[in-house]
Structure 1
Amino acid sequence: MKEKVVNLIHELRERSSEPICAYIYDLDGIRQHVSNMLSVMPAQAGLFYAIKANPDARIIEALLPLVTGFEVASAGELLKVRGVSETVPVLFGGPGKKDYELELALSHNVSYIHVESLLELRKLILLARERKKDTHVLLRINLRTDTLPQTKIQMGGRPSPFGLDELFIGEAISLLEGADNTHVHFSGFHFHSLSNNLQPDVHADMVHYYLQKAAEWKSKYDLDIKVINAGGGIGVSYDDTPGFDWQRFTSLLVQTEFPSGLEDVQLYFEPGRVIVADHGYYAAEVVDIKPSQGQNFAVIRGGTHHNRLPASWGHNHPFYVVPVESWPYPFPRPEIRQGKVTVVGELCTPKDRLHTDAEVESLRVGDVLIFEKSGAYCWTISHHDFLGHPHPEFYYITGGEYQ
């Protein structure tokens, strides 16, 4: 893949004299990666892609024949998926669904709505009854436990705006079984307790805990549970920390004995980052190199308005250098040899920083930096129009060719 990316950079340099700034998505790589993931999953498991990681329509199209469906967290995301397919299964989550979003979920036939509060459930029961539209729900539960793994982002096991507190399950079931509810059908539970977990053994233990809790509630409330959605939260390493071992995780799932009464339940997963992160690249040309009080700064054509992830997560984003030999100016070319450099963007803020004190053998103005692992939460979460700089170009590798 590195060779393909380097070749594209040189092609782009030949086409234009403007500084290079682009995203490159390897659709072939994403498809192969997902095929590998599916090949080791348990028979009763389903894989949904959480499009919040990257809602690019070309990525959704590439995944459409492979995944069980897609997870969305807004009306906008729902419409993106429905713009690609009117029939693919969709899970609709998110803690602040408005009435129009619930109505849209009903009209676009989402498979399951993740209910996150009693108010949301009451609204959905009312809207579904008024529109005479049947729908199925999974109750998203915020567990009261201190046994969840600790990661950078915790969404459950503590006070949280996400999900329904475990104490209110009984009230939610009463609403679903009440006389006022004619069209909203309970199908199971949804859990999403953390983000960016890199420990497969701990993740498998967490899923097993979900199953145990669901079995407990099944018995307590006499429930017919068809689906347990174990969420996403599977991480990607952006440094030397070992990444998540998907094959190890799924092998542990295969060995998991489902609790009594849940033997036939469908077990859903809705990862995002782990599906696309390694198959996206952000390319940005160095437009200036300047020493300042003992440090070197490389300014790129781009920055955190295109790739906010390193600033958001507080990490140094991995990159490599593509040397570009052409230099059109009559004066010397700024260069760093065998030194450290901090990579910053073109914005008027010191927070526009992608890597601090990177060791480089050689870096010159006009060379292009390729930020790897830029397929997830990079372009999507960025403040694209701050200062009005042009957006990057987008390129896709599919069938071995660039588009």
Structure 2
Amino acid sequence: MELRLAEVFASIRAAQAASDEPLCAYLYDLEGLRRNAVRVVDSLPAGCELFYAIKANSDLPVLQTLAPLVHGFEVSSGGELAWVREHFAEVPVIFSGPGKLDSELEAAVAQHVDCLHVESLNELQRLAAILDRTGKTQAVLLRINLALDSLAETTLMMGGKPTPFGIPAQQLQECLAWLHNYPEIQLRGFHFHLLSHQLDAQAHLQLLRAYLKQVRQWCEQYRLSIAQVNVGGGIGINYRQPDRQFDWVDFSSGLSALLDKSGLPGVRVRFELGRYITAACGYYAMQVIDIKRTYGKIFVIGRGGSHHFRTPYAQGHSHPFHVLPVDTWPYAFPRSAVSNERVSVVGQLCTPKDLLAFDAPVETVRCNDLVVFPYAGAYAWHISHHDFLRHPHPLQWYLPVEEGAHAAREQA
């Protein structure tokens, strides 16, 4: 996962030099994003597809960068579907997620989504009524909440235990029997998404092995002929130890061996990755307003906060950061600074939960320096409570894809 820090830092410095106020900004490196997506897609074995889960980051420049590279987009709401179709009329789309409204099911059918991932018998029944009324057909996957004895838990679990996600495996037979009477709903296969934040490549391979084994058993037991298994996403980013990321090379190599040995003939395997594709392309920059010592702790207060960058609080970690020195100081009095100490980086909000990094060692940080948080390209700005305290939104800009990069890939 390549980070183009020199280009990113130069762009942030230029923006700070041009700003009349302390800088608060998001920067997205689209060339870095393109390279990461190419790396992942090109290493997938034959018979595998990658759909980008746009919930991670649905900015239009991000989607425009990824559209020529991935096999399609995964959406989880009517709003996401409308956004994609407004800008990408022909890109294949799959629609996942619980609690779909009738209006969202109707839009999915009308917008010709490639596949609907159905979460319950109730949802199947409501879809059948829509198809009966419109005279159309729709391909579906059944999302199954599968209990596995060997399931290694991560910090975020969506299955393998009681959750609101998916159809319990014990209800599969009832759903299949019901589907026999509704040929307008075409069962294309199964969808699994039991967990997120997976950092262990071998554990993830073990999970996929269990998925394929179970699907094989169901196909034999119920005499099913299916076309695909969607294994979800779930591959995480190691925010705590950024030098120890998920080993994609080991995973893709192991996946190839797994499919050779245990794959289902003629059945495609789909991934829907979000965080792993876009996290490394984003950076959140805060300029230091104040440095305070209080009761044995040092707080670095930057312009912005968790209302812009909620990832650290949502994940419960101290986010890694870089300090970019800014030599200018606009005041007559000396500026505050700390060296070779541990600090907590906070924002401007009126809550102690506005904490982006804690007990983090720094060589030197001074008022007016820049603190830059990497791995801010997924579930960062897009999950934050932007308008709390009515602070202004951060600046946002994009480092472009290198000229001719997409054309060169198509020719290759």
Note if contact 2:307-2:387 (Cα within 8 Å) is conserved in structure 1: yes
Note if contact 1:231-1:270 (Cα within 8 Å) is conserved in structure 2: yes
Note if contact 1:211-1:258 (Cα within 8 Å) is conserved in structure 2: no
Cα offset for 1:146? 2.3
Select between 48-57 and 186-195 the one with higher mean Cα deviation. Answer: 48-57
Alignment-derived partner of residue 16 in structure 2: 13
Alignment-derived partner of residue 236 in structure 1: 237
Note if contact 2:209-2:262 (Cα within 8 Å) is conserved in structure 1: no
Report Cα offsets for 1:322-343 as digits up to 9, x if no partner.
1111111112211112222110
Alignment-derived partner of residue 216 in structure 1: 217
- Within 2, Cα distance between the matches of 1:282 and 1:260? 43
Note if contact 1:215-1:261 (Cα within 8 Å) is conserved in structure 2: no
2:189 is equivalent to residue 188 of structure 1: yes
Cα offset for 1:129? 1.4
Closer/same/farther in 2, CA of residues 261 and 302 from structure 1, 3 Å limit? closer
Cα offset for 1:294? 1.6
Report the AA paired with residue 243 of structure 1.
Q
- Within 2, Cα distance between the matches of 1:188 and 1:146? 23
2:58 is equivalent to residue 46 of structure 1: no
Alignment-derived partner of residue 262 in structure 1: 264
Alignment-derived partner of residue 250 in structure 1: 252
Cα offset for 1:282? 0.5
Moved over 4 A (4+): 257-261
Partner of 1:256: helix, strand, or coil? helix
Aligned length: 399
- Within 1, Cα distance between the matches of 2:354 and 2:149? 36
Of 127, 140, 143, the residue aligned with 2:143 is 140
Partner of 1:337: helix, strand, or coil? strand
Cα offset for 1:175? 1.8
Select between 83-92 and 303-312 the one with higher mean Cα deviation. Answer: 83-92
- Within 2, Cα distance between the matches of 1:274 and 1:371? 17
Report Cα offsets for 1:13-65 as digits up to 9, x if no partner.
22222111111111111111111112221110000111111111111110000
Alignment-derived partner of residue 399 in structure 1: 401
- Within 1, Cα distance between the matches of 2:17 and 2:201? 45
| Match runs of 1:318-329 below 5 Å | 318-329=320-331
Select between 34-43 and 266-275 the one with higher mean Cα deviation. Answer: 34-43
Note if contact 1:225-1:262 (Cα within 8 Å) is conserved in structure 2: no
Report Cα offsets for 1:134-188 as digits up to 9, x if no partner.
110000000122222210011111111100000111111122111xx24211100
Report Cα offsets for 1:86-142 as digits up to 9, x if no partner.
111111111111111111111111111000001001001111111112110000000
- Within 2, Cα distance between the matches of 1:306 and 1:388? 11
Note if contact 2:213-2:262 (Cα within 8 Å) is conserved in structure 1: no
Alignment-derived partner of residue 409 in structure 2: none
2:157 is equivalent to residue 172 of structure 1: no
Cα offset for 1:400? 4.8
Cα offset for 1:259? 7.6
Note if contact 1:125-1:184 (Cα within 8 Å) is conserved in structure 2: yes
Select between 80-89 and 22-31 the one with higher mean Cα deviation. Answer: 80-89
Partner of 2:383: helix, strand, or coil? coil
Root-mean-square deviation over aligned CA pairs: 1.4
Note if contact 1:144-1:158 (Cα within 8 Å) is conserved in structure 2: yes
- Within 1, Cα distance between the matches of 2:400 and 2:370? 23
- 5+ residue gaps, structure 1, are none
Report Cα offsets for 1:353-379 as digits up to 9, x if no partner.
001121111111111111011111111
Report the AA paired with residue 348 of structure 2.
E
- Within 1, Cα distance between the matches of 2:262 and 2:397? 49
- Within 1, Cα distance between the matches of 2:118 and 2:150? 24
Note if contact 2:8-2:29 (Cα within 8 Å) is conserved in structure 1: no
- 5+ residue gaps, structure 2, are 404-412
Alignment-derived partner of residue 74 in structure 2: 71
Note if contact 1:277-1:373 (Cα within 8 Å) is conserved in structure 2: yes
- Within 2, Cα distance between the matches of 1:163 and 1:40? 29
Cα offset for 1:195? 0.3
Alignment-derived partner of residue 22 in structure 1: 25
Note if contact 1:129-1:182 (Cα within 8 Å) is conserved in structure 2: no
Normalising by structure 2, we get a TM-score of 0.94
Partner of 1:264: helix, strand, or coil? coil
Select between 94-103 and 11-20 the one with higher mean Cα deviation. Answer: 11-20
Normalising by structure 1, we get a TM-score of 0.96
Cα offset for 1:9? 2.1
Note if contact 2:346-2:355 (Cα within 8 Å) is conserved in structure 1: yes
Report the AA paired with residue 175 of structure 2.
A
Partner of 1:331: helix, strand, or coil? coil
2:118 is equivalent to residue 107 of structure 1: no
Cα offset for 1:260? 8.1
Partner of 2:396: helix, strand, or coil? strand
